[in-house]
């Protein structure tokens, strides 16, 4: 069914401009717990200790770069044990993070579900801020750290809790679904969350004729194309996925008609129209594992193609490389600092957290 309307900040004359921050990064000194900087020299011992990790990434990281990374990787893995910490990494993290220091990798839904099972005292979230907030919502008694609290997201920044309240006034009684790419403040105002893996299932689970779906207008259009539920959308977009065009995909196909193209549903409709398969990052990875195409164009954030190629080197990746500047704020160096200094700690106002947690747990329980 075509989407039934897209709203944005300009549609609300009295839109409040400010909203309270829900997190406050803390530094080492605030917690009084910094550990000294370990040696980061490239030695024979470092080479030996990290050799099995290099095996995992040798197809995507040149040998000349490994000595620059390996000492920090070894130090991070040792500090994880010292701190009783676990590292969660999104599929868009670079291969040296995703394959060499992360304990758990995946898409937003996988990370949210895995976060509920973590036994460690500390979670270090290698991803963007809303992901760290989601981990904190699900683990209120644990310390959740993000190596750089400036790692934001254009979707999360597009909407506030006040905007959701204005939408509810405009459409009384219509349930609201929020993509997990939103702040805790927004999650606190909605009925249920979803990810790109389960968006259609979540919308249909509400049993309502109309649903407000926010904030990604393109994911909303994709959901609308898969359901009879009337979708009212918000004007947000992912700054990485909206840059792809149908024209560039057609050029890949003209150059090689046998190429397979898979795309994330945050892409515009003309891109999805050219794709052989559309799905979340986890669904895309499973599709590649099962299909094993010879040549593949993966239309999503660039690092995921590297992570898949590290696992499946026989698949040739042709890729227009759009990097997410927010995801790339997370580096080996600031992960090490995060473990050393226990910063930046994610905190959420308890009143907001209780309501936001309910929206996330409702989604997770639906999944289970």
Q: Give the residues lining the site for ligand SF4 (CB under 6 A).
A: 128, 153-155, 181, 238-240, 301, 324, 326-327
Tokens of 350: 């308890």
Distance CA(311)–CA(302), nearest Å, equals: 15
Helices (H), the chain: 28-31, 44-57, 66-83, 95-98, 108-115, 129-138, 161-170, 184-187, 199-205, 217-226, 246-255, 269-274, 281-291, 302-311, 332-341, 350-367
Looking at beta carbons only, is 239 or 248 nearer to ligand SF4? Answer: 239
Cis check: omega of the bond before 260, within 30 degrees of 0: no
Smallest gap from Cβ 110 to ligand SF4, in A, equals 15
Distance CA(344)–CA(339), nearest Å, equals: 10
Is residue 9 helix, strand or coil?
helix
CA distance to 68, 349, 355, 368, per residue, from 188 (Å)? 43, 11, 5, 22
Tokens of 331: 């580096």
Smallest gap from Cβ 96 to ligand SF4, in A, equals 19
Looking at beta carbons only, is 73 or 238 nearer to ligand SF4? Answer: 238
Smallest gap from Cβ 131 to ligand SF4, in A, equals 8
Looking at beta carbons only, is 295 or 329 nearer to ligand SF4? Answer: 329
**Residue 85 host element (H or E):** strand 85-90
Q: Please choose, from the candidates 11, 20, 346, the residue with its C-alpha nearest in 3D space to the C-alpha of residue 188.
A: 20
Smallest gap from Cβ 301 to ligand SF4, in A, equals 5
Looking at beta carbons only, is 66 or 130 nearer to ligand SF4? Answer: 130
Looking at beta carbons only, is 73 or 317 nearer to ligand SF4? Answer: 317
Smallest gap from Cβ 116 to ligand SF4, in A, equals 21
Looking at beta carbons only, is 280 or 341 nearer to ligand SF4? Answer: 280
Smallest gap from Cβ 211 to ligand SF4, in A, equals 21
Smallest gap from Cβ 240 to ligand SF4, in A, equals 4
Is residue 341 helix, strand or coil?
helix
Smallest gap from Cβ 297 to ligand SF4, in A, equals 17
Looking at beta carbons only, is 299 or 324 nearer to ligand SF4? Answer: 324
Looking at beta carbons only, is 70 or 240 nearer to ligand SF4? Answer: 240
Are the CB atoms for 43 and 75 separated by under 8 Å?
no
Distance CA(75)–CA(101), nearest Å, equals: 10
The 8-class DSSP code of residue 199 comes to H
């Amino acid at each position: 069914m075509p989407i039934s309307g897209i709203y944005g900040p300009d549609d609300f004359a009295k839109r409040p401009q400010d909203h309270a921050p829900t997190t406050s990064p803390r530094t080492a000194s605030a917690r009084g717990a910094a550990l000294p900087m370990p040696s980061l020299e490239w030695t024979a011992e470092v080479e030996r200790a990290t050799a099995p990790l290099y095996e995992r990434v040798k197809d995507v990281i040149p040998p000349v770069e490994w000595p620059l990374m390996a000492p920090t990787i070894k130090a991070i893995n040792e500090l994880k044990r010292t701190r009783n910490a676990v590292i969660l990494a999104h599929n868009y993290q670079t291969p040296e993070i995703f394959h060499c220091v992360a304990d758990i990798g995946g898409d937003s839904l996988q990370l949210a579900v895995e976060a509920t099972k973590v036994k460690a005292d500390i979670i270090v979230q290698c991803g963007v801020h809303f992901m760290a907030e989601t981990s904190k919502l699900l683990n209120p008694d644990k310390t959740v750290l993000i190596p750089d609290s400036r790692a934001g997201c254009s979707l999360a920044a597009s909407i506030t809790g006040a905007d959701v309240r204005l939408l509810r006034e405009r459409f009384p009684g219509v349930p609201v679904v929020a993509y997990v790419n939103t702040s805790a403040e927004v999650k606190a105002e909605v009925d249920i969350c979803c990810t790109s893996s389960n968006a259609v299932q979540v919308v249909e689970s509400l049993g309502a004729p109309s649903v407000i779906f926010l904030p990604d207008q393109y994911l909303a259009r994709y959901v609308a194309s898969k359901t009879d539920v009337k979708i009212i959308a918000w004007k947000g977009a992912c700054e990485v996925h909206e840059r792809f065009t149908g024209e560039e995909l057609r050029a890949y196909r003209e150059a090689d008609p046998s190429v397979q193209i898979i795309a994330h549903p945050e892409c515009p409709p003309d891109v999805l129209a050219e794709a052989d398969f559309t799905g979340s990052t986890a669904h895309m990875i499973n599709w590649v594992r099962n299909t094993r195409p010879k040549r593949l164009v993966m239309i999503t954030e660039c690092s995921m193609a590297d992570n898949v190629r590290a696992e499946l080197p026989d698949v040739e990746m042709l890729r227009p490389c759009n990097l997410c500047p927010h995801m790339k704020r997370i580096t080996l160096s600031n992960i090490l600092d995060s473990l050393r200094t226990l910063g930046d700690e994610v905190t959420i106002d308890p009143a907001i957290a209780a309501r936001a947690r309910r929206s996330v747990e409702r989604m997770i329980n639906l999944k289970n």
